[in-house]
Amino acid sequence: MSFFAILFALLIEQVRPLGPHNPIHSGLRVWARWVSRNFDAGKPQHGWISWVLAVIVPSLLALAVHWLLAYFVGWPAAMAWSVVVLYVTLGFRQFSHHFTDIRDALEAGDEAKARQLLARWQRVDASELPRSEIVRHVVEYSVLAAHRHVFGVLAWFSILAAFGLGPAGAVLYRMAEFVGRYWRYRNRMQVQPASEALQSAAARAWTAVDWLPARLTAIAFAVVGSFEEAIDCWRNYAERFPNDNDGVILAATSGAVNVRLGGEALKPVFAPNSSGSFQAAVGPEASADTASTPGREAEVAHLRSIVGLVWRSVVLWMVLLALLTLARLIG
């Protein structure tokens, strides 16, 4: 019943999205801090133990609740639990307001406001960006956000649910992405910093967890976009991006909608911490330059193309899941 769980979660999230400071996400930040504070002793094995506790334990908890509900109450209760978990882990509304506000500012000709919104969203210095570069970075950040908040969660949820593991895949994916980003951020803020061993374990685990979903997202973009150009760009330009998985998605996006992506990266802004010093508030990948892909220079019209690309990919996912669900019911 993965199709119905995803459908209901997406509909509920569109009507009543989670707020940015909701208690669930706050609790996850507390959990990640507690794990790193109590189990991160700086050794490689401690890094992996901390990661397993932070990511695998919540995934197993979600699985245990799913099995208990299915056994003692019935499958409707188990599906309702999957909807609740997907509502927390899956959704466009967790990031789409940034995209919409910047697009509206650009369409109104207010480039200064667009720069401010982009800087606030990604904590970067966007004060000197020309209009085309604003659009390019919005495309890149939005596509990656859509992948991490929607398509990656869909992939892991669907795969593990097919083996009877309920919503464990959705929790696994979102927690793996969250702890890697959160521990790196806290280290740069020098607030209970995570050790290099812990950051390395989280980064390596996230690369492994995201490997398959990134390629599924790229394939979906190619199918609903310009297929030959997307595949060609994926083959020839994905490795030019600093992150392999992100490079696959961005290269496929570039070919699918014929937009030039990559190039000089934004400079991270600096945020004060409790000691009065300043540390970069974004990850290292934000400060690395990349080679540009072929394609047209980014224009505001490309933002609408990206919206169409993403929604067509969602429809593709839902159609495939509906067909699999129908085949399972008939069989």
Q: Which residues contact 235 (CB under 8 A, 6 or more apart)?
A: none
Angle at the Cα of 21 (from 283 to 114), degrees rounded to 5?
60
Q: What is the pLDDT of residue 286?
A: 45
Q: Measured between alpha carbons, how far is residue 14 from residues 89, 90, 96, 97, 297 in Å?
A: 13, 11, 11, 12, 32
pLDDT average, residue stretch 78-91: 94
> Which has more confidence, 237 or 265?
237
- pLDDT higher than 80, residue 20: no
55 is written with which tokens?
A: 């990511």
Query: Confidence class of residue 215 from pLDDT cuts 50, 70 and 90?
Result: very high
Q: Tell me which amino acid residue 136 is.
A: R
Query: Confidence class of residue 243 from pLDDT cuts 50, 70 and 90?
Result: confident
pTM: 0.89
Give me the torsion for CA of 238, 239, 244, 246, rounded to 10°: -30
Q: Tell me which amino acid residue 128 is.
A: E
Quickly list H helices, the chain: 2-15, 23-39, 44-51, 57-72, 75-89, 96-107, 111-122, 131-146, 152-162, 168-189, 196-224, 227-237, 244-257, 300-330
Q: What is the pLDDT of residues 142-201, one digit of tens each?
A: 999 999 999 999 999 999 999 999 999 999 999 999 999 998 877 666 566 788 999 999
3-state SS, residue 244: helix
pLDDT average, residue stretch 127-138: 90
- pLDDT higher than 70, residue 18: yes
Question: Please, are residues 298 and 259 in contact by the beta-carbon 8 Å criterion?
Answer: yes
Q: What is the pLDDT of residues 112-121, one digit of tens each?
A: 999 999 999 9
Average pLDDT, the chain: 88
